[in-house]
Amino acid sequence: MRKLRAVLIEDETMFRQLILLTLGKVKDLQVIGEFGLGKPGLEFCLREKPDLLVVDLMLPDTNGIDITREVRRMVPEMKILVITAHPSERLPADLMSLGVNGYVDKTEPIEYVLSAVETVRSGGMFFASRVRAKGGTTPGLAANRPPLAIPLTDREQEIARLVAAGQMSKEIAAKLNLSVRTVEKHRANIMEKIGVREVASLTRWCIQAGLVDT
């Protein structure tokens, strides 16, 4: 696996150092830039085009939302991991709509950053917060976001809804008159298609895609 080139934008000096130490534990990852302000960090990203951007949501001169929008517009293939000390109920879904690959609440264990980087690196999504996902709109984000593309078949959408509702494979199999093995295969296909690894991220994806109510 080639080295993952990463940039960190975080204004709190101590937390920035903590994240740098944490990123140093990731195999084949190289931090090519660290910034305490958003604008110079964004300029560096647009110029150097790293593989991964780890960015704080709230910065003194701008915010992670505006940085994310610009990166997605100019360098759409870049992976983006947002960190924040100000989570909200709607934030995960709003970040997903912007194309963010991962999100970690600063109140979560720092090891979550390791898990997030590894998941995002492999093409998955990682969202971790103590705040329960809910409807509403995060300040700074347009309410009329474009709908999320749904790459699932009708049967997969049906199973995704049931999984998001908290039902186990055995319950889903009985309800849909399928074998447990068939349901498990569908679940695996669903996870692979939308790039998630755990039920929490699947649920958030379903909410954003409009498959389930918030």
Question: For the domain with range 154-209, which CATH number is right: 2.40.50.140, 3.40.50.2300, 1.10.10.10, 3.40.50.450?
Answer: 1.10.10.10
Q: Calculate the alpha carbon distances from 133 to 24, 91, 171, 210 in Å.
A: 31, 8, 24, 14
Q: What is the largest CA-CA distance in the chain?
A: 57
Q: Calculate the alpha carbon distances from 190 to 89, 157, 193, 196 in Å.
A: 24, 8, 5, 9
Q: pLDDT truncated to tens, each residue of the chain (214 aa)?
A: 678 999 999 999 999 999 999 999 998 999 999 999 999 999 999 999 999 999 999 999 999 999 999 999 999 999 999 998 877 767 777 787 788 888 888 887 888 888 889 888 887 778 776 544 444 444 333 333 344 456 788 888 899 889 888 889 999 999 999 999 999 999 988 888 877 777 877 887 787 677 776 5
The reported pTM is 0.64
Measured CA to CA, the distance from residue 151 to residue 89 in angstroms comes to 26
Domain boundaries, the chain: 4-128, 154-209
Among candidates 102, 45, 98, 38, which has minimal Cα distance to 74? 45
Domain boundaries 4-128, corresponding CATH code: 3.40.50.2300
